[in-house]
Structure 1
Amino acid sequence: MKTLTAIGTAIGAIAAVIALSNPAAAATAKRGSFGKLADGRAVASVTLANARGISATIVAYGAMLQSVVMPDRAGRKADVALGYDNLGDYLAKGQYFGGTVGRFANRLEAGRFRIDGQSFQTPVNDGKNSLHGGTVGFDKVLWDVVSVKNGPTASVTLRYVSPDGDQGYPGTMTVDATYSLDERNNLTIEYVATTDRATIANITNHAYWNLSGEGSSNGAMGHLVTIPAQTYLPTDAGAIPYGEFKPVAGTVFDFRTPHAVGDRVRDARDQQIVFGRGYDHNWVIGRDVTRDQHLMAKVYDPASGRGFELWSNQPGLQFYSGNFLDGTTHGKANRVYREGDAIVMEPQIFPNSPNQKGFPSARLDPGQTYRNVMTYRLSTGQTGANRTAAPKKR
């Protein structure tokens, strides 16, 4: 039996090598349609797929990651990204599912910031604060598909030009969102932005992950999470960090070694858990944006064998444990999404950075280029199918 197992393992490894070297197995990008807006504008979709059974569907509305299909350790495929199967539901109750969020992702205290002594006001849409760019952020606009390419790395690039004064932000900002998938199971999202006037930029992706399959009864609380951070940013009751870099040691925020999300997510002895109704905080991976990517987090689902490593060039990781999924949302295949059914991990500059000394700068000036590149090194638990390569230096 051991001999047969060894032979099977060898065959799997050889097949993986052949798939990588065979041009016919290169990743593909297929155009599609995701309906029309009320004004008649068509909403395009593009599905990236590789020879290892992984695919990702990107939709032009919100430049969103609408679907990620992965096999489990037994080869059974499932969509592991929460969301809807039709445009109407995204328009009615988007909840940022897979959306590109900006101009300033996360929260701005009272929706305000200053540049060169001038004050700017963005819409307040989260209690007293502004969240994810305002009432009509990047996740609620139609992007243009400007490039679609097939493998060995398949990709789609979408573009949105945000006019001067959009949601109160100064400057005309041009943003490109590029999604790519290769045969090493690296799913990369890269945001690049320029401006014609001094402004602020913090753009990320808000994918909800349940590696057991979206809507699965397992939920995401059994996912094992590792975050290589020594400190995190405690917040006030409105989820605004107040400037402290608090050590994770001895707290429920210590993920330096793997922990199941559900082990401590409801520990009300920690006031921060009470404020966030669970995890909804920023872990400090570094103090500034870097040229190259570094490890942000590892996630593994013991039930399915699926997992990923998340790499980025950003200093902060917002980890959210799906605390506000309340059972009123019916997702794909009419599955009900409940509290704890997914987790969100967003590489970014720290929340409220423009208003907090000692936080990384979010300022973007003419002639500069904003860049956030994040790579999900996906793994399926299948022999010979998980040898992902480290993200290339960019």
Structure 2
Amino acid sequence: MKIIQREFGSIHDGVITSTTLVNDHGMEVTSINYGCIITNIMVPDQNGQMENVVLGFDTIENYEKHSPYFGAVIGRVAGRIKGGTFELDGAKYQLEKNNMGNALHGGNKGYDKKVWHVDVNSDDEESSVVYKYISLDGEEGYPGNVEIKVTYCLSNANELTISYEAVSDKKTLLNVTNHSYFNLSGDLKRDILNHALKVKSDSFLELDDELIPTGEVLSVANTSFDFRESRVIQDGVNSSHDQNILAGNGYDHPFLLSENHNQEIVLSDEESGRILTIETDQPAVVLYTGNKLNNDFEIRSVQSRKYLGLCLETQGLPDSIHHPHFPSNILEKGEVFRSQTIYKFGLL
């Protein structure tokens, strides 16, 4: 195992450090302490060719200017909160409205735009980078001082484990995730429309016109949302289902997982031979197929465009504070939040 650190750039909040975890098989995971962004994941294809399978940039300036949350940790609350307001114990909180009058992904300067403290650890079997941040009471409108730690751990089994731990000194909301855009073709050679996805999920959340859950839980049966057997992403892009059309011809939906820690999410690309298996303790995964990626910038010399990557965001349900029948995203004072998601890279 090996760890490589270097200066990635600098912004007004300080120097940005890049950390690359390298295992004994040559797999690499690179991240920076700006937003805990994963910039590269290098894994082999069926011919042994090592290539990057996530969308990202080589400069901090591009992340500040162009990034639609590429590879970042999202918080305090992933997804949208309707109207940018919520109540806890009778107190009303007004959040930053950064998406059509709603709060999205933690606000104007969520966890994805913060500079985090960085530490590293390594032994013979795994290496890790640990990011820490203190989110102050009132930040983006949320109550409580929240101490949060995010750990990226790479093993010799070609597994990346993302662990989250947080505690608040006031009752607050917390729903964190990683927003990596995957493309298993390698170095963005193709889009993700022919990627095949399998998800152990019997139901998904209906969205309104602002892409916020209505509260209705819909069955996946006999729809383009049925990933219980593997199907290609193209099916949803071509679908006439009103929810696919609403999302911009594709997916931007939370799926309720029927199992945890049992190969519940599997993404594959037949041409490269790569396969990604995701296991989590979270109740849901948000599938976003890059339906709204802009084409006015480049990603490492490749023109950005729709469907160039897809996100599999393991998390709690968005806007759960307004839907009491959803699993709660409330974090009590002094309660320790813990969550873990494992990304296993292999070959078909």
Q: TM-score, normalised by structure 1?
A: 0.86
What is the one-letter code of the residue matched to 1:247? S
Q: Identity, % of aligned pairs?
A: 33
1:232 pairs with one of 192, 204, 207: 204
Task: Confirm whether residue 162 of structure 1 aligns to residue 129 of structure 2.
Answer: no
Deviation sequence 1:93-144 (CA, Å, 0-9, x none) = 2210000000001111111111111111111111121110001000001000
2:267 pairs with one of 299, 308, 312: 299
Instruction: Report the Cα distance in structure 2 between the residues aligned to 1:337 and 1:70, rounded to whole angstroms.
Output: 22
Aligned to 1:321: 289
Aligned to 1:348: 315
Deviating 4+ runs (over 3 angstroms): 292-296
Match runs of 1:65-80 below 5 Å: 65-80=38-53
Q: CA deviation at 1:62?
A: 0.4
Task: Confirm whether residue 379 of structure 1 aligns to residue 340 of structure 2.
Answer: no
Aligned to 1:115: 88
Counterpart secondary structure, 1:202: coil
Aligned to 1:368: 335
Q: Does the 8 A contact of 1:70 with 1:380 survive in 2?
A: no
What is the one-letter code of the residue matched to 1:78? E
Q: CA deviation at 1:296?
A: 3.4
Counterpart secondary structure, 2:237: coil
Instruction: Report the Cα distance in structure 2 between the residues aligned to 1:151 and 1:323, rounded to whole angstroms.
Output: 41
Aligned to 1:386: none
CA RMSD between the two structures: 1.4
Deviation sequence 1:186-211 (CA, Å, 0-9, x none) = 11111111000000100000000000
Aligned CA distance change for structure 1 residues 153 and 316 (closer, same or farther; 3 Å): same
Aligned to 2:60: 87
Task: Confirm whether residue 36 of structure 1 aligns to residue 4 of structure 2.
Answer: no
What is the one-letter code of the residue matched to 1:249? A
Aligned to 1:310: 278
Task: Confirm whether residue 270 of structure 1 aligns to residue 241 of structure 2.
Answer: yes
What is the one-letter code of the residue matched to 1:34? F
Counterpart secondary structure, 2:112: helix
Q: Does the 8 A contact of 2:80 with 2:105 survive in 1?
A: yes
Deviation sequence 1:220-275 (CA, Å, 0-9, x none) = 111110011000001101111111111100111000000011123231x2111121
Q: CA deviation at 1:33?
A: 1.6
Alignment gaps of 5+ in structure 1: 1-26, 382-394
What is the one-letter code of the residue matched to 1:321? T
Counterpart secondary structure, 1:237: coil
Q: CA deviation at 1:326?
A: 2.6
Counterpart secondary structure, 1:376: strand
Instruction: Report the Cα distance in structure 1 between the residues aligned to 2:314 and 2:203, rounded to whole angstroms.
Output: 15
Instruction: Report the Cα distance in structure 1 between the residues aligned to 2:312 and 2:54, rounded to whole angstroms.
Output: 12
Q: CA deviation at 1:148?
A: 3.2
Q: Which has the higher helix share?
A: 1
Q: CA deviation at 1:85?
A: 0.8
Instruction: Report the Cα distance in structure 1 between the residues aligned to 2:307 and 2:57, rounded to whole angstroms.
Output: 18
Q: TM-score, normalised by structure 2?
A: 0.97
Q: Which has the higher strand share?
A: 2
Counterpart secondary structure, 1:230: strand
Q: Does the 8 A contact of 2:170 with 2:334 survive in 1?
A: no
Counterpart secondary structure, 2:160: strand
Q: CA deviation at 1:329?
A: 2.4
Instruction: Report the Cα distance in structure 1 between the residues aligned to 2:6 and 2:313, rounded to whole angstroms.
Output: 27
Shifted more, 145-154 versus 66-75: the winner is: 145-154
Aligned to 2:224: 252
Counterpart secondary structure, 1:110: helix
Alignment gaps of 5+ in structure 2: none
Aligned to 2:213: 241
Q: Does the 8 A contact of 2:41 with 2:53 survive in 1?
A: yes
Q: CA deviation at 1:373?
A: 0.8
Aligned to 1:198: 171
Aligned to 1:106: 79
Instruction: Report the Cα distance in structure 2 between the residues aligned to 1:314 and 1:76, rounded to whole angstroms.
Output: 33
1:60 pairs with one of 33, 37, 40: 33
Q: CA deviation at 1:147?
A: 3.5
